[in-house]
Amino acid sequence: MSSRKPKPPVTPLTYESAGLNLELYDQAMERLPALMRKTHTPRVMDLPGGFAGLFRLGNARKFAKNYKDPVLVSGTDGVGTKLKVAAMLRRYDTVGIDLVAMSVNDCLCLGAEPLFFLDYLALPKDDPELISQAVSGVVKGCEEAGCALLGGETAIMPDIYAPGDFDLAGFCVGVVERKQIIDGSRIKPGDLVLGLDSSGFHSNGYSLVRKAVFEAGGHKVDETIPELGQTVGEALLTPTRIYVRPVVDLLSKKSGREAVTGLAHITGGGIAGNLERILPAGCAVEIDRSLWQPPTLFGWVQELGNIEREEMFRVFNMGLGFLLVIRPESLDTVSKRLAKHGMTPRLVGGVLAGDRAVTYQN
């Protein structure tokens, strides 16, 4: 058996020859601190060059709120294959908003106020423009949600991601008073279900959307669709709606907290799949599909892919991105409070006595 050692390469290896240009990477990173500072609140503690971020929870006069028995709430998510559409259009700012929305809307379901967010961006090579656009979208999302972008990570991995691919993930940390946690346990028969409009598909079901639009439908990403009044890319990259400000405002009042018995973010699994998660024993929900009309975008994709109606409702939000379960006597008060934030609350169903299940009428 030969014991010869392999000869070293004639040209010395460098990090750049392995696929990472540190100078280009530094250029991209230099853009980010200024973007992040736009989201910082007095609770963020300055730590230049730190390995982690610092955030104060309370007990200072300059903070808007102190807590008696705070519970931290966390949620994490990604953007999914919606990133493929962003790559096709070479537009990366809206998916940053999606990233924030998916996590903060989840934390909101427990009645939590989002505090801070961290993101993770992975790509095959240094791309300062992509990185800057993606993080600028994260910043916009954080500003809309009222939370601080505390830090993040950008990973260059040429052996993991193919050219043109990238991934975006992140997580949110929020806070809620222990006595004010909303977990669905107070839901009872007679409660009503209010729906808040989505902005489109949000960030779910894009493997099916892309198959219907680009494979079955044969459309191009820059093609204008008359019935939608915009291009395919514009329609599919509409960012996920963030429901934090209207719902947190509603819950900031004692009357609002007493009125709301359950909150559900409508993501993968649709209305039934997500609403069922918060139902206590002995409660069922009936949703009346005649009470709202899904936006044109949903019907357009359904027709392109010849998708069954029930499959549409199983996969997509169908125009309702967030649901509130409320006491019936509070319907008018809650609706007016949400309307102040530009929301259009829709009464779409009610809670009945029965096994934990969500069924559709019509």
- How would residue 67 be classed by pLDDT, with cut points 50, 70 and 90? confident
Position 16 confidence tier, pLDDT thresholds 50, 70, 90? confident
Quick one: pLDDT at residue 62? 47
Q: Which fold has domain 192-361?
A: Phosphoribosyl-aminoimidazole Synthetase; Chain A, domain 2 (3.90.650)
pTM, two decimal places: 0.91
Residue 214 pLDDT greater than 50, yes or no: yes
What pLDDT score was predicted for residue 2?
A: 55
Residue 48 has pLDDT above 90, yes or no: no
The pLDDT > 90 percentage for the chain reads 80
Residue 153 confidence (pLDDT):
93
Domain spanning 22-180, CATH class: alpha beta
Among 38-52, 158-172, 221-235, 288-302, name the one with the lowest average pLDDT: 38-52
The three-state DSSP-derived secondary structure of the chain is CCCCCCCCCCCCCCCCCCCCCHHHHHHHHHCHHHHHHCCCCCCEECCCCCCCCEECCCCCCCCCCCCCCEEEEEEEEECCCHHHHHHHHCCCCHHHHHHHHHHHHHHHCCCCEEEEEEEEEEECCCCHHHHHHHHHHHHHHHHHHCCEEEEEEEEECCCCCCCCCCEEEEEEEEEEEHHHCCCCCCCCCCCEEEEEECCCCCCCCHHHHHHHHHHHCCCCCCCEECCCCEEHHHHHCCCCCCCHHHHHHHHCCHHHHHHEEEEEECCCCHHHHHHHHHCCCCEEEEEEHHHCCCCHHHHHHHHHHCCCHHHHHHHCCCCEEEEEEECHHHHHHHHHHHHCCCCCCEEEEEEEECCCCEEEEC
Q: pLDDT tens for residues 146-177?
A: 999 999 999 999 999 999 999 999 999 999 99
**What is the model's pLDDT at position 35?**
82
pLDDT of residue 269: 94
C-beta of residue 174 within 8 angstroms of C-beta of residue 111: no
| Residue 126 vs residues 26, 97, 119, 208: alpha-carbon distances, Å | 9, 22, 17, 30
With a cut of 60, say whether residue 115 has pLDDT above it.
Answer: yes
Q: Where are the domains of the chain?
A: 22-180, 192-361
Which of 313 and 28 is assigned the larger pLDDT? 313
